[in-house]
Amino acid sequence: MSRSAHPAGPRHADVLTEGHYSAPAADLNVLDGKVWSRTVTRDADGALTVGGIAVARLAEEFGTPAYFLDESDFRARCRAWSEAFGPDADVFYAGKAFLSRAVVRWLKEEGLNLDVCSGGELSTALDAGMPAERIAFHGNNKTVAEIERAVEAGVGRIVLDSFQEIVRVAHIAQRHGVRQRVQIRVTVGVEAHTHEFIATAHEDQKFGIALADGQAAEAVRRALSLDGLDLIGVHSHIGSQIFDMAGFEVSARRVVQLLAEIRDEHGVELPEIDLGGGLGIAYTSEDDPREPHEIAKALSDIVTRECEAAKLRTPRISVEPGRAIVGPTAFTLYEVGTIKPLEGLRTYVSVDGGMSDNIRTALYDAEYSVALVSRTSDAEPMLVRVVGKHCESGDIVVKDAFLPADLAPGDLIAVPATGAYCRSMASNYNHALRPPVVAVRDGEARVIVRRETEEDLLRLDVG
Ligand SMILES: *Cc1c(COP(=O)(O)O)cnc(C)c1O
C-alpha cells in the first residue's frame, strides 16, 4: 500500500510556465507567520525584529552569518508538546537537531526529556545538568566507551539497535551491578517522508531490527533472558518531515501487534512504546504542519484503538520531536554580497555563508524561503537563487525564491526555519568559521554558541 496526499510534481508548478517564473502570489514584504518564529515581525521602519530587536542591531552586534533563535518560541513549543501529550506520555527532544548547554537547560526547565545519539551529545546533556534518568541514548553503533558512560551515568533508557548491542549493554550493565532500562528499536517496514509514506518499505537500512522476518521477536527473546537488561518497550522511528499521520498509524499498529505477540509468548506486557520523531514543519508557505495537540490526539487514538483490539493495557507513549521543536524557532541572517543577473535564467544572489551553515539544500534538495529583512521594498519581484561563498557549484542555500529587484549588496536577507539540522550539521568547509547561535528573548540577545575564530581552526591544526 502506498499513498500520496499530494500528486508528484514540482512544488513550484504554479509559478513555473514554460521555463519562466511568473510573479509570486504573496507580497514579498509580508512575513508568513507559519515559517517565521513567533516573535518575528516588522518594525515601523520595515526592518525585521525578533524578540523586540531589529536585525540591523543584531547584525552589528553579532555579525553575519548568524543564527538567531527565538527563545520564548522554543520554550512555548516545548510546553505545547508536553501539554498536548499530558502526564501519561513522555516527550523527548531529539538533541541531534540542535543541542547546546542553554538548550539543555531550557528543556530541563520546561519538563522535557532528551534524546542523545553520541558521547558528545551525552556529555553536553550531563554537563548542563539534565538528570540522567531523563536521557535516552540512541545510535546504531554506540561504542563500548559510550555505553559504559551512559550506564555509569544512569541514563533512563538505552535504545538497543542490534543483536551485538543487546549482549554488549547487558554485559556492561552487569559489570556495573545494575539492570539497565532498554527499549528495542524495530524497523516496522514503514517509510515516511513529507507527503507520502510507504507501508511496505524494504528493511534495507542501517537502523533497527526488522519486525517482518521474526528478528525483532528474537531480539526481545534475548533481551528478556539477560539479567543486565530491563526491557521496558519497543521503539520505532519512521522518517522525517512527515505531515501525513497515516505512516504513524501503520507503525503503531505493527508495534502494538508485536506487544501482543510478546504477551502471548512470554506472559509480559511491555509498559512503553516510542513512536519516534519526524514531524514536519513549514519551510515554505506551502507546508501545512499539524499542531502538537492534533498529533498527540491522533497517536493516542491509534494506540488506544489498537490495544483495545489486541486486549492489551495501553502502554505509555513517548515521542521524539527534534525539528518540530527547534526548527521553526531560528532564522539565519546573511549579508548580500555579489548579485549576478543571468539573462533569461535567474539572478544569483551570493551571501556570506552557504553550505557550511546550511547543508540541507545540497544534501536533501531541501526547500527554504528567504526574505529581505533590513528594509521593505516596493520593487518588482525577481527570481533568485541564493548561493553561498564556497568553492562548490552545489553550494545553494535557497534554490528558487523571489526577492525584490532592487536588492543590493549590503542588504540583509534571512532564511527562516533553520533551527534544526543547520548549526548541528555545519562544517568548516573552505575553513569557514561556523556561525554563532544567538538566543533572543524579551529585548535581550545573548550568544549561546559563539562564532568560531581562526584561532579555533589553528588550535586543532597542530602543525
Ligand atoms: C532523528 C531522530 C529523531 C528526530 O527527528 P526529527 O525529524 O528531528 O523530529 C527522533 N528519533 C530518532 C530515533 C531519530 O533518529
Q: At a CB cut-off of 8 Å and minimum separation 6, what does 151 contact?
A: 158, 169, 172, 173, 176, 178, 180
Residue 375 forms part of a structural domain: yes
Return d(Cα 220, Cα 225) in angstroms, integer. 9
Alpha carbon distance 251, 245 (integer Å): 10
Ligand 1 atom index nearest CA of 138: 13
Report the percentage of the chain scoring pLDDT > 90. Answer: 90
Q: Is residue 197 part of a domain?
A: yes
CATH code (residue 62):
2.40.37.10
Determine the average pLDDT of the residues in 126-130: 98
Give the max Cα distance, the chain.
72
Cα angle: 339, vertex 342, 345; to 5 degrees: 125
Reference 414, options 430, 390, 438, 398; nearest CA is 398
Of 292, 253, 285, residue with least CA distance to 91: 292
Angstrom distance (rounded) from CA 412 to CA 424 = 23
Q: CA 423 to CA 322: how far, in whole Å?
A: 13
Count of structural domains, the chain? 2
Q: From the CA of 240, give the closest atom in ligand 1.
A: 7
Calculate ∠ Cα 434-439-441, nearest 5°.
160
Neighbours of 323 (CB within 10 A): 25
* Per-residue pLDDT band at 22 (split at 50, 70, 90): low
Number of helices (H), then strands (E), belonging to the chain: the values are 12, 27
Does pLDDT of 19 surpass 60?
A: no
391 is catalytic: yes
Predicted confidence at residue 15, as pLDDT, reads: 43
What is the C-alpha to C-alpha distance for residues 136 and 223, in angstroms, rounded to an integer? 17
Query: What are the pLDDT digits (tens) for 228-263?
Result: 999 999 999 999 999 999 999 999 999 999 999 999
Residue 438 host element (H or E) = strand 437-441
Return the residue whose CA atom lies nearest to atom 15 of ligand 1: 237
Return the C-alpha cell found at 406.
532592487
Count Cβ atoms below 10 Å from residue 409 Cβ, excluding itself.
11
**Euclidean distance between CA atoms 412 and 372, whole angstroms:** 6
Whether 296 and 340 share a structural domain: no
177 & 255 share domain: yes
pLDDT of residue 152: 98
436 CA from centroid of ligand 1 (Å): 24
Cα–ligand 1 centroid distance for 385 (angstroms): 29
Q: What pLDDT sits at residue 205? A: 86
Mutate to test the pocket of ligand 1, among 320, 323, 329, 364 (most ligand atoms within 8 A of CB): 320
Residue 8: per-residue pLDDT: 38
- Cell numbers found for residue 134: 531523563
End-of-domain residue from the set 321, 354, 379: 321
What would you report as the CA-atom Rg of the chain, rounded to the nearest whole angstrom? Answer: 23
> Of the candidates 282, 298, 321, which is a domain's last residue?
321
> Which uninterrupted H or E stretch holds 4?
strand 2-4
Do residue 375 and residue 303 come from a single domain? no
Q: Which atom of ligand 1 is nearest to the CA of 276?
A: 11
Q: How far is the CA of 320 from the centre of ligand 1 (A)?
A: 6
Ligand 1 pocket test: which of 235, 238, 240, 290 has the largest number of ligand atoms within 8 Å of its C-beta? 240
pLDDT score, position 305 = 96
What is the rounded average pLDDT of the residues 451-459? 97
Grid coordinates given for 237: 522511528
Same domain, yes or no: 357 and 288: no
Give the distance (Å) from ligand 1 centre to CA of residue 420: 11
- Helix residue ranges, H only, 268-395: 292-310, 323-326, 360-364
Domain limit, last residue, from 321, 352, 368: 321
Which of 93, 107, 236, 237 for a ligand 1 pocket mutation test, highest count of atoms within 8 Å of Cβ?
Answer: 237
CA pair distance 204, 201, nearest whole angstrom:
8
Q: At 253, which helix (H) or strand (E)?
A: helix 246-266
Distance CA 435, CA 262 (A): 49
CB 49 within 8 A of CB 57: no
Whether 163 and 230 share a structural domain: yes
Ligand 1: distance of its center to the CA of 94 in Å?
Answer: 6
Average pLDDT over residues 99-104: 98
Pair (278, 332) in one structural domain: no
* Ligand 1 cavity residues, CB under 6 Å: 94, 96-97, 115, 138, 237, 240, 276-279, 320-324, 420
Other CB atoms within 10 Å distance of the CB of residue 359: 20
State the residue range of the domain holding 265.
138-321
**Rounded Cα–Cα distance for residues 169 and 160 (Å):** 8
Which is the closest atom of ligand 1 to the Cα of 239?
7
| CATH (domain of 172) | 3.20.20.10
Give the rounded percent of residues in the chain with a pLDDT score beyond 70: 95
* Whole-prediction pTM: 0.94
Q: How confident is the model at residue 38 (pLDDT cuts 50, 70, 90)?
A: very high
Round the average pLDDT of the chain to a whole number and report it.
Answer: 94
Please tell me whether residues 235 and 299 are part of one structural domain: yes
> What single-letter amino acid sits at 83?
E
Mind listing the pLDDT tens digit for each residue in 45-83?
A: 999 999 999 999 999 999 999 999 999 999 999 999 999
Together in a domain, 383 and 400: yes
Same domain, 240 and 344: no
Is residue 111 in a domain?
no
CA of 2 to the centre of ligand 1 (A): 22
Q: Give the strand pairing for 316-319 and 89-94.
A: parallel
Q: How many CA atoms lie within 13 A of 135 on its CB side?
A: 27
Catalytic residue among 78, 117, 307, 391: 391
pLDDT band, very low/low/confident/very high, at 195 (cuts 50, 70, 90): confident
pLDDT, tens digit, 9 for 90 and up, residues 280-320: 999 999 999 999 999 999 999 999 999 999 999 999 999 99
Give the model's pLDDT for residue 193.
84
Give which of 128, 40, 139, 56 is closest to 419, Cα–Cα.
40
Is 400 domain-assigned? yes
User: CB 454: neighbour CB atoms within 10 A?
Assistant: 9
DSSP assignment, residue 148?
H
| β-strand partners of 67 | 332, 437
**298 and 167 within one domain:** yes
Does residue 369 form part of some domain?
yes
**CA 386 to ligand 1 center in whole angstroms:** 28
pLDDT tens by residue, 331-356: 999 999 999 999 999 999 999 999 99
Q: How many CA atoms, within 13 angstroms, populate the side-chain half-sphere of residue 431?
A: 9
- Based on the fold, state whether residues 265 and 356 are members of the same structural domain: no
Question: Using N-to-C axis directions, what is the helix angle for 215-225 and 246-266, rounded to 10°?
Answer: 50
Q: Which of 270, 274, 267, 271 is nearest to 136 (CA)?
A: 274
Same domain (yes/no): 286, 217: yes
> Which tens digits make up the pLDDT trace of 364-413?
999 999 999 999 999 999 999 999 999 999 999 999 999 999 999 999 99
